[in-house]
Amino acid sequence: MLPTPAEGSLNNGVINLDHQATTPCHPAVIEAMEPWWREQWGNASSRQHRLGLTAAAAVSSARNTLADSLGVESDEVIFTSGATEANNLALLGHARFRARTAGGPGHLISVASEHHAVLDPLQQLRQEGFELTLLTPRPDGLIETTQLEQAIQPNTQLVSVMVANNEIGVIQPVQELSTICRNHGITMHTDAAQAYGHLPVNMQHLGCSLLSVSAHKFNGPKGIGALVARKGTGLDPLFWGGGQEQGLRPGTLPVPLIVGLAAAATLAKADQAARLTRLGALRDQLWHDLKQRNPGLLLNGTLHPRLAHNLNITVPGISGSRLQRALKSQLACSSGSACSSGAPSHVLRAIGRSRTEAEASLRLSLGRDTTAIDIERAVAVLTETIQAGATGRP
């Protein structure tokens, strides 16, 4: 039997600092979606009657909203089930297109600290004959433009570097990297799942050709995202049937989710500047107070440039599994990527943390509803847990 909402609720005193794993769907987004589940239940591809035409108009409006927010044309937006699918379509779709038109697979470049939704498709392409170079980030989590320049080969076809890291929150110099790629005739993709909705993200400014987003990272519904592909960027589909989304993502469009994505994008843009300021101040307070009370804590990744709502710390000398068990009933946070299989974070290992240090690390991510009281409580809970662990108290 499935748990009821009450049984699965976090409204039981647990402090929620795991908003990079996902975010609650905003009430305004739920309200925007509601009519499209029931009254307006038409298929956007069935345009012989009013229900279908109304659904198609809703999809078109949502596509325009997302396109406007990213500074692109509406026909450059391809709806997907989320950033993972968008990354796969971007990487597999474009690399295979390039191999088909160039007469064979070429060279790909990414970063060792990327999300597995990028790394795994790249490994698949490696099995298909592509060469792959993974750049090692500096200890602060960032890569230098010279690293990319030195890695480029005559047959380099595609580079993928995320805007903001999903674990340590550092913001990569995507604009500069895109300029390098453009000067060499290389396609640039960026996974913006953790950035869009939290940072100003404009493809004209970034200069990339492919960009992935996911609604549930900015208070939208799960199961919907988009790949933005600039005109002239070739893509081979990953599957076929129906012809929707320019033949690149066939299947019946989830109209309520698409409406929800657009509503969340509008909401995020409306309060983005104020939210960045507020959450940045709360995050800085969290780090200051934790460090003051626990001087041995280590910060993972540079503090600037970094997502305003992200803090990732290592607690030296404490068992990571014990730390997580002690916190579970009081604080919702992550020991690494929300998609981790339990192995030590490859991101933290890439920036030089040992296996033990990576296991004893916490990602604390704030959300739209995080308050100063939440921060105070989190500092108290973490300090008590850390100091109890350091002394070996149960």
pLDDT tens figures, 321-342: 889 899 999 999 998 534 556 7
Residue 339 falls in the annotated catalytic set: yes
Query: What pLDDT, on a 0 to 100 scale, did the predictor assign at position 296?
Result: 96
Q: Is 29 part of a structural domain of the chain?
A: no
Task: State whether 307 and 168 are in the same domain.
Answer: no
**Of residues 140 and 337, more confidently modeled:** 140
336 assigned to some structural domain: yes
Q: In terms of domains, do 281 and 365 share one? A: yes
Residues 231 and 293 in one domain: no
**Rounded-to-integer distance, Cα 254 and Cα 243, Å:** 15
Count of structural domains, the chain:
2
CATH number at residue 349: 3.90.1150.10
| Residue 7 confidence (pLDDT) above 90 | no
**Catalytic residue among 25, 181, 208, 339, which?**
339
The verdict on 210 and 339 lying in the same domain is no
Q: State which of 218, 249, 280 marks the end of a domain.
A: 249
Domain co-membership, 94 together with 243: yes
Average pLDDT over residues 149-176: 98
Say yes or no to pLDDT of 1 above 80. no
Mean pLDDT lowest for which of 136-150, 152-166, 332-346, 373-387?
A: 332-346
% of the chain with per-residue pLDDT over 90: 90
Query: Concatenated DSSP letters for 90-102?
Result: HHHHHHHHHHHHH
Asked if residue 48 belongs to a domain, the reply is no
DSSP letter, residue 137: P
- In the predicted model, what is the mean pLDDT of residues 145-166? 98
**Strand 310-314 relative to strand 298-299: parallel, antiparallel, unpaired?**
antiparallel
Q: Which one, of 208, 209, 266, 229, lies nearest residue 77 by Cα?
A: 229
Q: 357 lies in a domain?
A: yes
**Class of residue 391 by CB neighbours under 10 A (exposed 0-12, middle 13-18, buried 19+):** exposed
158, pLDDT greater than 60? yes
Residue 139, pLDDT score = 98
In this predicted structure, the answer to whether residue 343 has a pLDDT above a threshold of 90 is: no
242 and 352 co-located in one domain:
no
Does 105 map to a domain? yes
Is position 354 within any domain? Answer: yes
Residue 348 has pLDDT above 70, yes or no: yes
254: left (phi over 0), alpha (psi -120 to 50) or beta: beta
Mean pLDDT over residues 34-47, rounded?
94
Give the model confidence (pLDDT) of 218-274 as tens digits.
Answer: 999 999 999 999 999 999 999 999 899 999 999 999 999 999 999 999 999 999 999
Instruction: State whether 187 and 281 are in the same domain.
Output: no
| Cα radius of gyration (the chain) | 22
Over the stretch 168-197, which tens digit does the pLDDT of each residue have? 999 999 999 999 999 999 999 999 999 999
The HSE-up count of residue 171 (CA atoms within 13 Å, CB side) is: 17
**299-310 confidence digits (pLDDT tens):** 999 999 999 999
Kindly tell me if the per-residue pLDDT of 5 is higher than 80: no
pTM over the 0.85 mark: yes
Tokens standing for residue 149:
């320049």
Shared-domain flag, residues 174 and 295: no
Residue 2 has pLDDT above 80, yes or no: no
pLDDT digits (tens, 9 = 90+) for 83-136: 999 999 999 999 999 999 999 999 999 999 999 999 999 999 999 999 999 999
Residue 8 maps to a domain: no
Whether the predicted pLDDT of 392 surpasses 80 = no
Q: Are residues 159 and 288 in the same domain?
A: no
> Is 163 found in the same domain as 88?
yes
Residue 57 in any domain: the answer is no
Which CATH number is 240's domain given? 3.40.640.10
Regarding whether 231 and 294 lie in a shared domain, the answer is no
Least Cα distance to 168 among 289, 312, 317 occurs for 312
**DSSP assignment letter at 72:** S
Range of the domain at 299: 15-20+272-391
- Asked whether residue 79 falls in the same domain as residue 186, the answer is yes
pLDDT for the residue numbered 10? 46
DSSP letters, 272-341, are HHHHHHHHHHHHHHHHHHHHHH-TT-EE-S-SSSB-TTEEEEE-TTS-HHHHHHHHTTTEE-BSS-TT--
pLDDT over threshold 90, residue 47: no
